[in-house]
Structure 1
Amino acid sequence: MNNNCHSSNLNPHLKSFEEDTLFHIGFSSTHDDLPEMFGDVKFVCMGGTSSRMKIYSERFADELKMEWIDYTKGERYGIFKAGPVLCISHGIGKPSASIVLHEVIKMVNYAGCQDVVFIRMGTCGGIDCEAGTVVVSDKALDEMLKPEYNLHVLGKVVTRPTQLSHVLAEDILSSQSSNNGFNIIRGNTLCTSDFFEGQARIDGAFCHYTEEDKMEYLKKVRNAGVRNIEMESAVVAGLCNAANIKAAVVCVTLLDRLKTDQVTLTHDQLMKYEMRPMDVILAFVSKKLGKQ
């Protein structure tokens, strides 16, 4: 095994493996030259769909004048590289994101990456902000409004904190132009395990509560400093904290949940809004690489 793991918090059992097969992303710690392939990675950008992350990675390559490589193996997760920027899809929800995070955290360690940051870019529901607003998260809260990522391990609950990097958030915000044409705000993010009932929607197949119950909960969420709702931020924050990796979550709102439950954007509006987190992170990466 290539013992390039530099995080003291990583699984100590890994050192005893002759080979670590990163099954879901299709790499091997011994059969792939991970330092050659990924050793220069400084930014790991993650989002829900493979198609969106491919578009993002192609734009990174074009804007930064970097080589673009498609490292996708199989159909589960898309993996694309544009110079020091690695773009990876994580699917929907904490379980899917957890799987790819475990394997990518190991991969960047086997590759010997230094000072790498992880950034989730995606879409979300807004709380008291109009569609198209970009939210840079301070911390992820669970459905009980606690800043925790909880996982059942060996019949016990393991709790990891979900505070995101203030330094990274400030770096991202300070790199933005004042005339980018859309609002960027900071706030807490509610990370749920369900899209319908877990997010207090009344348009799912099941709903045992009233519109008044919904609004009472959403106002409580707003009072906790939450400005958006999505389904992956807690696992990104929790696992990156465990690995001593700086992480950020940058998402664009598709609706204001205090006004409606359903996304009614046109295709063109949706495509326009989905590019906004990319615009924010591109400005940040460009500044870090001295490309501005």
Structure 2
Amino acid sequence: MCSLAKQLRCALKIDQHLPLVDISAAAHRYSMYKVGPVLCCSHGIGMPSCSVLLHELIKLVRYANCVDPIFLRLGTCGGLGVPPGSVVISKQVFDGYLRNEYEMPILGECVRRPANFNPIVFNELLKCKERDDRFGICLGNTMSTNCFYEGQARIDGAVCCYSLEQKMCFLNKIHCMGIKNIEMEALQMAAITYHCGIKAGAICVTLLNRLNGDQIDITKEQLDDFQQRPLTVAIRYIKRVLNISNCADE
């Protein structure tokens, strides 16, 4: 998020002479940087930590009287049927049971909420592809899990109770559902923003094609390049929303 904030300063030509300050450092829960009208915030791994950030951000923008805020999640993921380094824009999000909803217990009862991202946002994000890009941008469904290993049909964890054949059968099944990536936060984000009427989207870069294996096989230089790609797309989108013309920042 610090890197994104620095790049946004250049892209938006805002506050470049001021020190970059983590305005939530004292809380020791996440980092937050403000660049003009944009907040850049980190979250931990998985939906529980993402939930804490989202609740506090939603309250924050309400207290600040923000009008029609847009939330974006940036990250890495495992791809399905797309080359490593591809940027996937999430459309619908499915849980580990392959349901297009987020489930949680509230007051001892099971509450389910739809997990869909805003079509205006994901269609505009898709338009942020440029001719000279060395990577593809695609729209697809996303699977979000509460587990990095068995929950994602991996066979390289400490515990695995299924065969390689069963794994591949499952991955091919969800690929046929239009699921193009697997990660651990989009489900909760889609559900809470949809429930609150907030426009939101998710931009993730694939580090591997899970149909070809579970291990990442790229260099450190490639990883750095891949991780920059969601930031690049997000900055283009932010400039479109703010109606700022292109400059030599990307």
Please report the TM-score for the alignment, with normalisation by the length of structure 1: 0.80
Match of 1:93 in 2: 46
SS at the partner of 2:140?
strand
Between 65-74 and 166-175, report the one with greater CA deviation: 65-74
Question: 2:175 & 2:126 partners in 1: Cα distance?
Answer: 22
Match of 1:177 in 2: 130
Q: Percent identity between the aligned chains?
A: 42
8 Å Cα contact 2:126/2:139 also seen in 1: no
Q: How far is the alpha carbon of 1:69 from its aligned partner?
A: 4.2
Match of 1:20 in 2: none
8 Å Cα contact 1:123/1:254 also seen in 2: yes
Superimposed CA distance per residue, residues 36-62 of structure 1 (whole angstroms, 9 cap, x where no aligned partner): xxxxxxxxxxxxxxxxx1111111112
Q: Which sections of structure 2, spanning at least 5 residues, go unmatched?
A: 246-250
SS at the partner of 2:211?
coil
8 Å Cα contact 1:136/1:169 also seen in 2: yes
Match of 1:144 in 2: 97
Alignment of 1:55-204 (within 5 A): 55-67=3-15, 68-73=20-25, 74-204=27-157
SS at the partner of 2:65?
coil
8 Å Cα contact 1:176/1:284 also seen in 2: no
8 Å Cα contact 2:90/2:201 also seen in 1: yes
Aligned residues: 240
Q: How far is the alpha carbon of 1:277 from its aligned partner?
A: 0.4
Pair 1:259–1:164, CA change in 2 (3 A): same
Match of 1:273 in 2: 226
8 Å Cα contact 1:149/1:161 also seen in 2: yes
CA RMSD of aligned residues (A): 1.0
SS at the partner of 2:90?
strand
Superimposed CA distance per residue, residues 143-199 of structure 1 (whole angstroms, 9 cap, x where no aligned partner): 111110101111111111001111111112223322222100010000001000000
Question: 2:110 & 2:200 partners in 1: Cα distance?
Answer: 23
Question: 1:115 & 1:181 partners in 2: Cα distance?
Answer: 33
Question: 1:289 & 1:208 partners in 2: Cα distance?
Answer: 50
Counterpart amino acid of 1:180? D
8 Å Cα contact 1:117/1:245 also seen in 2: yes
Question: 2:192 & 2:106 partners in 1: Cα distance?
Answer: 14
SS at the partner of 1:274?
helix
From 231, 243, 264, the counterpart of 2:217: 264
Please report the TM-score for the alignment, with normalisation by the length of structure 2: 0.93
8 Å Cα contact 2:128/2:236 also seen in 1: yes
Question: 2:35 & 2:221 partners in 1: Cα distance?
Answer: 26
Q: Which sections of structure 1, spanning at least 5 residues, go unmatched?
A: 1-52
Tell me which of the two structures has the higher relative contact order, counting C-alpha pairs closer than 8 angstroms and 6 or more residues apart. 2
8 Å Cα contact 2:204/2:230 also seen in 1: yes
Q: How far is the alpha carbon of 1:264 from its aligned partner?
A: 2.3
